[in-house]
Amino acid sequence: MDIQKIKQRFGIIGNSHGLNRAIDVAAQVAPTDLSVLITGESGTGKEVFPQIIHNYSSRKHGKYIPVNCGAIPDGTIDSELFGHEKGSFTGAHESRKGYFEVADEGTIFLDEVAELPLSTQVRLLRVLESGEFLRVGSSKPQKTNVRVIAATNVDLVKAIEENKFREDLYYRLNTVPIIIPALKERGNDIYLLFRKFATDFAERYRMPPISLGEEARRILAEYEWPGNVRQLKNITEQLSVIEEERIIQADILQKYLPDYYPNKLPALYKSDLVDEKTFATEREILYKILFDMKSDLTNLKKLVNGLIEKGVDFGDIKNADHLIQRINHSSSVISASDSKSASSSHIEDPDIEDTEEFIEESLLLEDKEIELIKKALEKHNGKRKYAAQDLGISERTLYRKIKEYDID
């Protein structure tokens, strides 16, 4: 199936690999009756993909009913989905069909499916397993032939662990998963979307379209876009309406991105030396360095006290390097004297200096960052995707840092 034709039909902008992959999977699964679970951050455009699946399926002439599960109160959601009988609860003056009955031979899209109450999840599981459901207040099962497509921005695996979502329902819905990439992972798509929105708003408000200066375009690409496509659209509309200048420079754009700051450090790094804990900010990395230094100083203090107790004379110590050399030499002598093979407890103090080279460890954040990136790449055999996941940054950010630091 031609992906470009699908994009034109449904107004999808972008050419990133993740987006094309999601469209391809939707097109491939459309002719089947398999349940589909669409996941992705809020604002990524998940609602378009159920329409693709429905319109390219054999059910395209049947009803397509989108349901926002998070917008329906818990007390009425069973009635909305499965219908109710007259007198089944206060205010039920007559029988009513639910969405699953109305959409027979069609498709139901359950958006924000993680918001369903556990009792409703049990009812939904029965529909998926046997095609049967009960109206509220009825004991007579009814049949329906409905395809279910669900979407969520919630980590359902975590919700299962917290007993907020049924594991059996998760596997029923997740027959075919479709993952919608976040806007920050879509590279050049960000500018293409901005240009499309700018053109649309120029036509709507009858004004010249806005464009971006070179530095503003760089900021647009670097920004994390927590609100994804929805946020980009809103900011483009604000710029189009409020700003008089049609060429938006960096200082103007930053006013609409108050939480923007250049990303200078990988946010997360796993290490066996710190019990697999992750560091989410530069401050935490600094704390880790300071704690390591404090631990080293504590150990050094204990060692010096131990040497003093054993009678080592530090009276002729001239500087820190000399102290380190003396401690290193004296420690080896004391270790030898404490062993079973030692024949004497006398500690000699020869004039021969220890030739071991002591290299001061760099504490620059930039050096630490380079070291973490190299370790992640080495751990994953140069595969940037997995290295970026280990570091807790996007693959695009990792690529930029590899280029910035000239890392092989």
Give the HSE-up count for residue 57: Cα atoms under 13 Å, Cβ half-sphere: 26
Higher pLDDT, 333 or 390: 390
Mean pLDDT of 321-338: 55
pLDDT at 286: 64
- Tracing tokens 């993909």 back to the chain, one arrives at 49
What share of the chain has pLDDT > 70, as a percent?
A: 75
Question: For residue 156, is pLDDT > 60?
Answer: yes
| Mean pLDDT, rounded, for 100-124 | 96
Averaged pLDDT of the chain:
83
pTM of this prediction? 0.64
- Give mean pLDDT, residues 347-371: 56
Query: Do 401 and 369 form a contact (C-beta atoms < 8 A)?
Result: yes
> Confidence band (pLDDT; 50, 70, 90) for 351?
very low
The whole-number pLDDT of residue 125 equals: 96
Between residues 373 and 181, the one the model is more confident about = 181
Q: Which residue has the higher pLDDT, 144 or 88?
A: 144
186: CB partners within 8 A, 6+ apart: 14, 16, 18, 19
CATH architecture for segment(s) 266-310+362-408: Orthogonal Bundle (1.10)
**How far apart are the two ends of the chain, measured CA to CA in Å?**
40
pLDDT (0 to 100) of residue 385:
83
pLDDT the model gives residue 365 = 67
Q: Which pLDDT score is estimated for 284?
A: 59
Per-residue pLDDT at 212 exceeds 80: yes
Q: Give the bridge partners for 248, in sequence order.
A: 212
Nearest to 194 by CA among 224, 227, 239, 226: 239
- Report helix angle 384-391 to 365-379, nearest 10: 130
Predicted local distance difference test score (pLDDT) of residue 97: 93
- Residue 191 sits at the vertex; the CA angle it makes with 184 and 231, to the nearest 5 degrees, is 55
Across the range 175-185, mean pLDDT stands at 96
Question: From the CB of residue 386, how many other CB atoms can be counted at a distance below 10 Å?
Answer: 15
pLDDT tens string 224-259: 999 999 999 999 999 999 999 999 999 999 999 978
The residue extents of the domains of the chain are 3-181, 184-255, 266-310+362-408
What's the pLDDT at 346? 45
Annotation: CATH topology of 3-181:
Rossmann fold (3.40.50)
CATH 3.40.309.10 applies to domain 184-255: no
pLDDT category of residue 343 using cuts at 50, 70 and 90: very low
Confidence of residue 282 (pLDDT cuts 50, 70, 90): low
Determine the Cα–Cα distance for residues 400 and 394; give it in Å rounded to an integer. Answer: 10
